[in-house]
A and B are shown apart, each in its own frame.
Chain A
């Protein structure tokens, strides 16, 4: 009689441990990343070259920077479909200013600012006109896309000053600058989310908006800020991308970027229902997406498999999120 509860207990502990593993999105993703790396290196050992791994990191960076803003937004219960257009808007603003002879630091700041303004407009459409976020940002996606085409006449902006291009192409001790930017942005968002009262408020608003409001949290203010930050990071990512490729491309952003970013955020463990998610999860999610891109090229697998695999992983990630939530919200009897 005395032995039995103990054994039951330890069995429960064991299941709990495996469940925890499964429920920690980062851990599951890291296992998937390692599995893909091993499988691909069998097909082509070059996959594990430092050069190739740096490429994976470099490609993950753009998504990661945007995903930081998008994840804070989605943890706070928001959704922004316009990020792909704001990405282009930021890049076009900065590169046009550069061509007009504006020094690069000012051009970058103005580009990021324009992204923030775009985010602010989104929040106002949602709050003042009471348009659901998915529709509001889909509408603004079209508007911003049209604006960039109108302003540029559909022409890419180049050439760009050398000093600006170095920002996107240079490296220090073999580490690309862009990876450093991503590290700084990631650290900043992680800090805000985990170590400031604002981060707690974002989770509260996303987790239960009415409860947050009833507790005296200024819900609309929190939402305004996260939309502004989402727009600013999207524009910043666009600017980094322009520096990396050496031109302000009108077709660089768009719906593909929007969908990839939202996919990275969801795979990274942010719940569409808000409240849950971590920046480390997003980082791992961005690396996984970029690894899949790269692995399929290295293993010479046709590109359509890329989208199929990403689709499967996205659905699996959200299904796991549902299980996670069910366990988290279960009322003990």
Chain B
């Protein structure tokens, strides 16, 4: 299901910023992913939806360098890549907001936001720069978490979520992956995260987001890839992605082949 853009009569194919081809992954006897294809463009918010156990998080962890795919290919801007570990994926331009947030409770907000890319002055820790950067990113995102010296352990679930997102934004990398970024959030904070994603899109980032919150998905998505039982069953554009269709694909009551038929009708 290659992404093609129809401009008049000419068909222009863009090279995706990130692309997965026939990715497979098994954990021992359990097959987590049997065939995952995904193309995400620059300046696009691309949602990945699916039921629990569909393989969304496994896909994201492969992209984050935390798991290695057993088969298939990952490409960035058309070049096949391999991630040795999380720091390697980051070095190749991928920032991640994990579902479990990956924050260290006993460290403060500024330190957590700099983990993996700690500001240095010579060989010394540059705490001032660390705090300044954290404050700048948080105020850019219009986030208020009190002091950046507050320990993460003292923050609420929603505040932690926002800090985790702010950390990924601080990296300022071309691709940003988010796993359930609104799971712990209220209505107002969810809308705020939506604004942050739109701002990232405006800046030309490639945003790939896993979410269960379909209202959130429909409001922001440029593309929606539906996963089911370890496979990517369909990728829909914003126009195609209607509620009943997406739910049908998630639950399996609509077969992906039917969409092809529908779109031809």
Interface residues of A (CB under 8 A from B): 194-197, 199-201, 203-204, 207-208, 210-218, 275-276, 328-333
Contacts and interface: CB of A to CB of B under 8 A. Distances in A.
A212 B156 contact: no
Q: Chain A CB within 10 Å — which of B89, B90, B104, B120 has the most?
A: B104
B120 A197 contact: yes
Interface string B19-52: 0000000000000000000000000000000000
A268 B52 CA distance: 45
Given A328-B154, A329-B153, A204 B115 contact: yes
B148 interface: no
8 contacts: A196-B123, A204-B111, A207-B106, A211-B101, A213-B85, A216-B115, A275-B107, A331-B157
Nearest to A276: B106
Q: Chain B CB within 10 Å — which of A211, A275, A332 has the most?
A: A211
A196 B125 contact: yes
A224 B112 CA distance: 22
Contacts of B196: none
B157 A208 contact: no
Instruction: List 6 tightest A-B contacts by C-beta distance, closest first.
Output: A216-B87, A216-B116, A275-B106, A214-B102, A329-B153, A215-B116
Nearest to B130: A200
B66 A214 contact: yes
A192 to B, nearest CB: 10
A199 B130 CA distance: 14
B87 A207 contact: no
A328 B151 CA distance: 7
A75 to B, nearest CB: 10
Contacts of A213: 66, 85-86
B195 interface: no
Contacts of B106: 203, 207, 275-276, 328-329
Contacts of B123: 196
Interface string B88-124: 0111000010101111111100010011111010011
B64 interface: yes
B49 to A, nearest CB: 23
Contacts of B156: 331-333
Contact of A215 (B86, B91, B153, B157): B86
Interface of B: 64, 66, 85-87, 89-91, 96, 98, 100-107, 111, 114-118, 120, 123-125, 151, 153-157
A208 B153 CA distance: 12
Given A328-B151, A333-B156, A218 B103 contact: no
Nearest to B61: A214
A208 B85 contact: no
A62 to B, nearest CB: 29
A53 B220 CA distance: 70
Nearest to A210: B102
Q: Chain A CB within 10 Å — which of B86, B111, B151 has the most?
A: B86
Given A195-B124, A216-B116, A207 B105 contact: yes
Contacts of A329: 105-106, 153
Given A204-B115, A216-B89, 18 more contacts: A196-B124, A197-B125, A200-B115, A207-B104, A211-B100, A211-B102, A214-B64, A215-B86, A217-B116, A218-B87, A328-B105, A328-B106, A328-B153, A329-B106, A330-B154, A331-B156, A332-B154, A332-B155
Given A200-B118, A329-B153, A216 B102 contact: no
A329 B157 CA distance: 11
Contacts of A210: 100, 102
A320 to B, nearest CB: 16
Q: Chain A CB within 10 Å — which of B64, B85, B96 has the most?
A: B85
A298 B101 CA distance: 54
B87 to A, nearest CB: 3
Contacts of A332: 154-156
A116 to B, nearest CB: 20
Nearest to B101: A211
B115 A217 contact: yes
B125 A275 contact: no
Contacts of A331: 153, 155-157
Q: Chain B CB within 10 Å — which of A199, A208, A213 has the most?
A: A208
A211 B125 contact: no
Contacts of B111: 200, 203-204
Contacts of A330: 153-154
A180 B231 CA distance: 65
B223 to A, nearest CB: 26
B161 to A, nearest CB: 12
Contacts of B124: 195-196
A214 B89 CA distance: 10
A319 B123 CA distance: 37
